[in-house]
Chain A
């Protein structure tokens, strides 16, 4: 009797979505936090001028990065609080499958809050955004989420075995996310203005893809050493 990896992966993702559907803790907290952070940013920096188009991308992505810290912090929490960690670890699941499941779930959670945060950010800060620009931002989200979810999943798995994990995660994750935030903000800025600057946008997307690829490679190479003792 040997389990297929696809079946294990589906089971692990479904489990996290079922848990989220029952408790609604993580996505709700991430979305509310992002909303609050956006309002704070507006009063901190946006209010200086009437047109905040120039800082919209920055505010949106700084907000998403902070919300991501929250989401990453919740990873593995059910396993710890409900004491299932050993039950999951003794199952014959390749550790890479566990990592990929975490990445997929984080990716979905990020997408869920972006559906709310990006349009709101546009309404709040951008005067005349084109539908075309919004569609491009959606594409950018897909890549950027991967570049956030992969380091998030890797670092969260290390913090499971650490004290004060809620302190450790922001300190670990945010420095690694700075390049992602810079590029995602730049890309968003390039297409949310009065005109769509396609070449610039693609350049940022390419850099985000490189970030995601580098993080994937590191995670792939090191993950075996993280979960098993």
Chain B
């Protein structure tokens, strides 16, 4: 599903990714962990088509960047720290906008279902500005999944989620991943281990450690993490 080869990137001359390779087969859930500044978010931004890689290649579902960026975009569902919805629009208006941008068919019914799934149906016509952070992020989850993406890219999505929202997102990740691929950047080692199939640690712009989630116990992972941060 995702194929990353020799990925290199630098911000204003400072190297963030240095020849990173990563393969994610379809249907796999991968947690990307690592210390701050390791290049996790940059990797995710590049796969999400927000950044153009300076070196190396990225392929999503056979669509190679930069030529295949538009095809890839249609298959990706992206969720970052922020819900990525307009605060001055209502949930219904937001989902209508993104549904139109992604060319979702039967949109009205889908919006209804999506809002019901994240428990926002009663507030469908209130401006998002009046929502709590957790509610807005739940709308972000609905936005991310509206077009049935085959690849979910989550950049520390639990930031700002309340306990209910976190459980909801856990459910979304667990449920969609039967047929969808998930790449999730997180600091939450426990969640990485329990929710995902595989844990990839990035350090200094490269994959430093790559193991099936079943093979790691939390103390070992934490120890590895500590070691890398030092």
A and B touch in the complex (CB under 8 A): yes
A residues near B, CB below 8 A? 1-4, 7-8, 10-12, 14-15, 18-19, 22-23, 78, 82-84, 86-94, 228-229
The reply to whether the CB of B57 lies closer than 8 angstroms to some CB of chain A is: no
Q: A87 near B84 (CB under 8 angstroms)?
A: yes
Contacts of B127 in A (CB 8 A): 22
Closest to B82 in A: A83
Q: Which of B87, B93, B103 contacts A3 (CB 8 A)?
A: B103
Contacts of B64 in A (CB 8 A): none
Excluding A83-B82, A92-B102, A229-B50, 14 further A-B contacts by CB distance (< 8 Å) are A3-B101, A3-B103, A8-B100, A12-B97, A12-B101, A15-B93, A19-B89, A88-B84, A90-B48, A90-B78, A91-B98, A92-B103, A228-B49, A228-B52
Q: A15 near B97 (CB under 8 angstroms)?
A: yes
Q: A86 near B80 (CB under 8 angstroms)?
A: yes
How many A-B pairs have beta carbons closer than 8 Å: the answer is: 93
Contacts of B78 in A (CB 8 A): 86-87, 90
Contacts of B16 in A (CB 8 A): none
The reply to whether the CB of B178 lies closer than 8 angstroms to some CB of chain A is: no
6 pairs of A and B residues whose beta carbons are closest in the complex: A3-B103, A87-B84, A11-B100, A92-B73, A83-B82, A91-B101
Most buried by A among B50, B100, B104, B105: B100
The reply to whether the CB of B85 lies closer than 8 angstroms to some CB of chain A is: yes
Q: B89 near A15 (CB under 8 angstroms)?
A: yes
Q: A3 near B49 (CB under 8 angstroms)?
A: no
Q: B70 near A94 (CB under 8 angstroms)?
A: yes
Also in contact, A8 and B84, with CB within 8 A (given A90-B48, A92-B73): no
6 residue pairs A–B, Cβ–Cβ below 8 Å: A2-B103, A8-B103, A11-B96, A83-B82, A91-B102, A92-B103
Q: B98 near A87 (CB under 8 angstroms)?
A: yes
Contacts of B49 in A (CB 8 A): 89-90, 228
The reply to whether the CB of B143 lies closer than 8 angstroms to some CB of chain A is: yes
Also in contact, A1 and B74, with CB within 8 A (given A15-B86, A22-B127): yes
The reply to whether the CB of B174 lies closer than 8 angstroms to some CB of chain A is: no
B residues near A, CB below 8 A? 48-52, 69-71, 73-74, 76, 78, 80, 82, 84-89, 93, 96-98, 100-105, 127, 143, 147-148
Q: How far is the CA of A35 from the CA of B148 in the complex (A)?
A: 49
Per DSSP, chain B at the interface is loop
Also in contact, A1 and B101, with CB within 8 A (given A82-B86, A86-B84, A87-B84): no
Q: A4 near B85 (CB under 8 angstroms)?
A: no
Q: How far is the CA of A84 from the CA of B129 in the complex (A)?
A: 13
Q: Which of A10, A18, A89 contacts B89 (CB 8 A)?
A: A18
Q: Min CB distance, B44 to chain A, in Å?
A: 11
Closest to B76 in A: A90
Also in contact, A22 and B89, with CB within 8 A (given A83-B82, A87-B84, A228-B52): yes
Q: How far is the CA of A14 from the CA of B148 in the complex (A)?
A: 24
Q: How far is the CA of A64 from the CA of B44 in the complex (A)?
A: 43
Contacts of B76 in A (CB 8 A): 90
Contacts of B84 in A (CB 8 A): 83-84, 86-88
Q: B52 near A1 (CB under 8 angstroms)?
A: no
Q: B52 near A229 (CB under 8 angstroms)?
A: yes
Contacts of A90 in B (CB 8 A): 48-50, 73, 76, 78
Closest to A10 in B: B100
Contacts of A15 in B (CB 8 A): 86, 89, 93, 97
Contacts of A89 in B (CB 8 A): 49-50
Q: How far is the CA of A165 from the CA of B214 in the complex (A)?
A: 50
Q: How far is the CA of A18 from the CA of B97 in the complex (A)?
A: 11
Also in contact, A7 and B100, with CB within 8 A (given A86-B50, A87-B143, A91-B73): yes
Contacts of B104 in A (CB 8 A): 1
Also in contact, A4 and B103, with CB within 8 A (given A15-B97, A92-B74, A229-B51): yes
Q: How far is the CA of A94 from the CA of B74 in the complex (A)?
A: 12
Contacts of B143 in A (CB 8 A): 87
Q: How far is the CA of A11 from the CA of B29 in the complex (A)?
A: 33
Q: Min CB distance, A3 to chain B, in Å?
A: 3
Q: How far is the CA of A86 from the CA of B73 in the complex (A)?
A: 12
